[in-house]
Structure 1
């Protein structure tokens, strides 16, 4: 007797019909092809990694159904305007400045100080609809994993960079007039990326794990889930391949979002009772009718019958999120049971029992809860091993803990902890060649103040202290400035904001992680030690001392804020000027937590040079920022630009 899967034809296409399972007010979408690959010669072939593969027929463009939500209609309107906006430039060859001559409905980010006045959007080819081909990725080599992780990270950086630029433009009352002020920046960003073809995993419907996406990854926007292909619906809690596009007429569910939107859900972590969609009043958020076994509901039942795993994303309340919510990818589950039940409201609801597949990384939502316990009472969670509450001994603004449950090594306790680097006396005295220097702002600095001029006419940070885009060098307001400590241009100089920990790792020796969630673009810590001149560096390097060389770090700061995939003439900032650096930092006897960062060629943090207490450009501070949203207890890694043996010498 043939197994159910042997007769299943997975040659399925997305349906125009959208049956939303109401969620707390966030949005999502589903249009756009995979981005262009920068280097085809080094790109792993996804086809060679798949064990299920079918044909991908052409499909018409998607349209909203009569049941579409307001946010779905809003996104489609953003998409329409973005499409008209970019199409208008395709035929606008007679104008030397396309953005300046664009009609009002197509106004854009032209006025943003982060963009060249003549910046133009890249015009995409004909939009490709979502594919019908369903695949499952069987295995990835180490280089393939790095490639896909970097691809996902690059897409997320583009998403966040565009979003903050849109917000900044609207705050100034400039640009994007057709989109309107105070509208959804995440929707606008998704619309612009859609027409450029920057959405991932649209050429294949991936069943199971998606390359480049890790269990525990966190997101602030539903739209971001769509852009990377983790969940493909604007508002619906069930993402599925509809029966209307299937050769055998059977839908298949691929992912669900669990966010407490239905009163009959029962979330036990590894065991989940999930309520199907439908039957709920969209405005009152109450059940008003019985659910039907169709659409996504039927897709989950078919996934159970054929043993197809489902991705589970949990939505939780989170005060530090821009949206007040956080989405956590918790891995793969199997649907093991399905039944019709009478819900708490008295209407019929379909319920599904899902079990988490064993052998995966720990659930991100569980790690979030554990990290809160560690912050409140660490000894209640850690019964064994070496634990020190604060190795900085009060020198940092936030305690730096130490934990080792693997062996008896206590190496980090043997060093003097330096919260700030110690500079040679002649370096500290230099203030831009003047006796004083700094701005004279009595309140928070504005775009035309002295420090803004030093930064090339724009500040590097947003209102929340998040880095807007990397620069060769950032001038923060310092001790010579008249502005208050609350000035938005004072960020990294204030020290730690997150509760960091040095921990013992089987893989990296000593490593660093945070008990807090770190938002992408946020300041983390500074490399600290004894700053040495070029001549001192040459002497101590011959003696084999542990030195950090600033000039060896690759310029990954240029990746943060890069929107070259959308704006054709975008160039990384070249100002403020930074000369070749010849100094080093001696960490052999005095150091701080940054010296325990592990090395990675696909890192989640990067180095940004900053000045604030002196203006000697030859000796900037080495500040560390987050390249992505980093979940609690995930190890921090940086690209030292050197072989790992050198890094091992630094931390041993």
Structure 2
């Protein structure tokens, strides 16, 4: 595959090949999971969360300590988000059963950890550079892929963003979760050099994916992307870089924090014309 056609960008790391028909596939280190980056004091792959003692093949809400503590995130089939619980756009974190749990791999509370199960293709777009499209229909609530990369500190995220050239893409995602009345947990993920198929997803002001923090083995969340609506085959997959799920955002200044804002080419009716920029990283 010297010309890169139909190449599997994951190099066999994913259960389902990530196709790319480009003549020159992008260069980066593929990783299915988050990795420990500069300033991160905890290895994201380390198992630190307690497990449940369930001996059944699939956990039940009335007896599983994981589900009783954190809630039932998925339907009983273990394929879709629970419409009675965290629907797309829901901001609370999700906890899955982990390596210390006694339940089987078929447990319905194990979804994101199973990895990529859908046929996706990385492709060139007309005005947005690289992008990702679905090669099959995806029902609402289905887990699509992670946004995996280096987990870095706030200081490293700030340093990287300030050192970026005007022609470089900013891949850093900052996730802030409220834990109690005054505590805020921050996670910074950068897939620029080490990442997965999620690094190629474009922004849209009216996206078809929603991002949810999902904890499995570690207290460090994995940034999971679920279908916010039914998605057709050949449709481009997008999410809102600002963390929303298609809600209208106010218009933003062309320049901010001394940086020139980049235009948004999503084409949505509610497009704000500029890509989101997290100025808190620069403060």
Alignment partner of 1:479 is 2:99: yes
Higher relative contact order (CA 8 A, sep 6+): 2
2:96 and 2:53 map into 1 onto residues whose CA distance is 14
Of 205, 217, 222, which residue of structure 2 is paired with 1:601? Answer: 205
Match of 1:549 in 2: 173
Give the superposition deviation at 1:576: 9.6
Give the superposition deviation at 1:504: 0.6
C-alpha offsets along residues 435-476 of structure 1, whole Å, 9 cap, x if unaligned? xx1101011211132101221xx3110123100133410000
Structure 1 or 2: more helix by fraction? 1
**Aligned pair in 2 of structure 1 residues 585, 631: CA closer, same or farther (>3 Å)?**
same
C-alpha offsets along residues 71-122 of structure 1, whole Å, 9 cap, x if unaligned? xxxxxxxxxxxxxxxxxxxxxxxxxxxxxxxxxxxxxxxxxxxxxxxxxxxx
**Aligned pair in 2 of structure 1 residues 646, 430: CA closer, same or farther (>3 Å)?**
farther
Alignment partner of 1:516 is 2:144: no
**Aligned pair in 2 of structure 1 residues 579, 512: CA closer, same or farther (>3 Å)?**
farther
Match of 2:42 in 1: 426
2:111 and 2:126 map into 1 onto residues whose CA distance is 34
**Aligned pair in 2 of structure 1 residues 515, 420: CA closer, same or farther (>3 Å)?**
same
Equivalent residues in 2 for 1:130-149, closer than 5 Å = none
SS where residue 537 of structure 1 aligns? Answer: helix
Alignment partner of 1:454 is 2:69: yes
**Aligned pair in 2 of structure 1 residues 389, 635: CA closer, same or farther (>3 Å)?**
same
C-alpha offsets along residues 576-616 of structure 1, whole Å, 9 cap, x if unaligned? 999534331222212211111111111111001100011x2
SS where residue 155 of structure 2 aligns? Answer: helix
Aligned partners of 2:173 and 2:190 also within 8 Å: no
Match of 1:626 in 2: 227
Equivalent residues in 2 for 1:206-221, closer than 5 Å = none
C-alpha offsets along residues 116-163 of structure 1, whole Å, 9 cap, x if unaligned? xxxxxxxxxxxxxxxxxxxxxxxxxxxxxxxxxxxxxxxxxxxxxxxx
Alignment partner of 1:506 is 2:126: yes
**Aligned pair in 2 of structure 1 residues 394, 515: CA closer, same or farther (>3 Å)?**
same
SS where residue 42 of structure 2 aligns? Answer: helix
**Aligned pair in 2 of structure 1 residues 394, 421: CA closer, same or farther (>3 Å)?**
same
**Aligned pair in 2 of structure 1 residues 453, 636: CA closer, same or farther (>3 Å)?**
same
Aligned partners of 1:521 and 1:626 also within 8 Å: yes
1:447 and 1:578 map into 2 onto residues whose CA distance is 30
TM-score, with length taken from structure 2: 0.73
Alignment partner of 1:589 is 2:193: yes
Match of 1:391 in 2: 9
Equivalent residues in 2 for 1:125-274, closer than 5 Å = none
SS where residue 539 of structure 1 aligns? Answer: helix
Aligned partners of 1:517 and 1:630 also within 8 Å: yes
2:21 and 2:7 map into 1 onto residues whose CA distance is 9
TM-score, with length taken from structure 1: 0.33
C-alpha offsets along residues 609-638 of structure 1, whole Å, 9 cap, x if unaligned? 100011x2xx31100000111111100111
Aligned partners of 2:52 and 2:100 also within 8 Å: yes
Alignment partner of 1:400 is 2:18: yes
Asked which structure has the greater CA Rg, the reply is 1
Unpaired segments ≥5 residues, structure 2: 244-251, 253-260, 266-274, 277-283
**Aligned pair in 2 of structure 1 residues 624, 508: CA closer, same or farther (>3 Å)?**
same
1:506 and 1:595 map into 2 onto residues whose CA distance is 18
**Aligned pair in 2 of structure 1 residues 598, 632: CA closer, same or farther (>3 Å)?**
same
2:216 and 2:180 map into 1 onto residues whose CA distance is 14
Aligned partners of 2:210 and 2:228 also within 8 Å: yes
Aligned partners of 1:530 and 1:585 also within 8 Å: yes
SS where residue 33 of structure 2 aligns? Answer: coil
Aligned partners of 2:123 and 2:131 also within 8 Å: yes
2:11 and 2:206 map into 1 onto residues whose CA distance is 32
**Aligned pair in 2 of structure 1 residues 576, 396: CA closer, same or farther (>3 Å)?**
farther
**Aligned pair in 2 of structure 1 residues 397, 430: CA closer, same or farther (>3 Å)?**
closer
2:222 and 2:96 map into 1 onto residues whose CA distance is 11
Alignment length (residue pairs): 232
Equivalent residues in 2 for 1:530-569, closer than 5 Å = 530-544=150-164, 546-551=170-175
Match of 1:441 in 2: 54
Aligned partners of 1:520 and 1:628 also within 8 Å: yes
Structure 1 or 2: more strand by fraction? 2
Equivalent residues in 2 for 1:58-137, closer than 5 Å = none
1:426 and 1:606 map into 2 onto residues whose CA distance is 26
Aligned partners of 1:515 and 1:632 also within 8 Å: yes
RMSD: 3.0
**Aligned pair in 2 of structure 1 residues 647, 497: CA closer, same or farther (>3 Å)?**
farther
Deviation larger for 458-467 or 629-638: 458-467
Aligned partners of 1:454 and 1:475 also within 8 Å: no
SS where residue 551 of structure 1 aligns? Answer: strand
Aligned partners of 2:175 and 2:186 also within 8 Å: yes
Give the superposition deviation at 1:646: 8.4
Match of 2:281 in 1: none
Unpaired segments ≥5 residues, structure 1: 1-384, 556-573
